Amino acid sequence: EITALSLAAASEEQPLAGTSLLLTAGPTREALDPVRYLSNHSSGKMGFAIAEQAQRLGAKVTLVAGPVSLPTPAGVTRIDVESAQQMLDAVMAQVEEHQLFIGCAAVADYRPIAVADNKIKKSAESMMVEMVRNPDILATVAAHSKRPFTVGFAAETQDVAHYAMDKLKRKNLDMIAANDVSKPEQGFNADSNALTLYWDGGSQALGYSGKSDQAKQLLLAIAKRL
């Protein structure tokens, strides 16, 4: 009886036991030439918090990380990448072996069309940089024939619910976690967040809390729907 209770408690504490999670985190860097790049303000904190909490909740975690200054959570397998293309390659090489994918990285939507071999000399008063769209990692994962349960993030500065629901449907995701990065107390470099989760037919506001707590609540909400 004690054993049965303990097992029940363990199962309740580790709802992701037996689940393998593939996760992206941080920004990507898109080279303009050997010294210049385009990037964004993602700190990777939210993704690394998810990796740590998922491992505690019993999951086997593979973390594909853009350039960030964060230590690897204990027990997590980490693959470091720079560009969106490198991140896609690392994800697609791993995707069939995972049941759950969370795209938490702030992947650059565009990259400069050509990387200059040598540093561009400044000679003109103005310069046009032609950018082309990067591959869409989330949509590529969601369109895979052996797709995992696919969760995306939406960092928005306006009409958050509208853009999040649109992204959920357009990219065929199973869930999306939205946050309003125009609010200074949440988002890219903050230690806290206030995610709202959307899925087909439901939503859940997690309220304002630290990123570890947000990560755990997100993972518990996913575990119910896996």
Among 127, 145, 201, 224, binds a second copy (CB under 8 A): 127
* Contacts of 150 by beta carbon, 8 Å cutoff, 6+ apart: 101, 103, 138, 141, 142, 172, 173, 174, 175
Tell me the closest approach of the beta carbon of residue 36 to a second copy, in angstroms.
Answer: 5
Cβ proximity to a second copy: between 181 and 215 the closer is 181
Classified as helix, coil or strand, 24 is strand
- What is the per-residue binding string for a second copy in 42-61, x denoting contact by CB under 8 A? x-------------------
Which residue, 4 or 127, is less far from a second copy as judged by CB?
Answer: 127
184 binds a second copy (CB under 8 A): no
Q: How far apart are the first and last CA of the chain?
A: 29
For 29, residues 6+ apart whose C-beta sits below 8 A from its C-beta are 37, 38, 39, 66, 67, 82, 83, 108
Nearest CB to a second copy, comparing residues 170 and 225? 170
Residue 106 interacting with a second copy (CB under 8 A): yes
- Residue 145 sits in the site that holds a second copy (CB under 8 A): no
Q: Tell me the two tokens of residue 142.
A: 């969601």
Provide, rounded to whole angstroms, the least separation between the CB of residue 11 and a second copy. Answer: 40
Q: Is 112 exposed, middle or buried (0-12, 13-18, 19+ CB in 10 A)?
A: middle
Q: In the chain, how long is the greatest CA-to-CA distance? A: 79
**Contact set for a second copy, span 75-104 (CB under 8 A):** none
**By the criterion CB under 8 A, which residues form the site for a second copy?**
32, 34-42, 69, 106, 108-110, 113, 118-120, 122, 124-133, 155-158, 181-182, 188
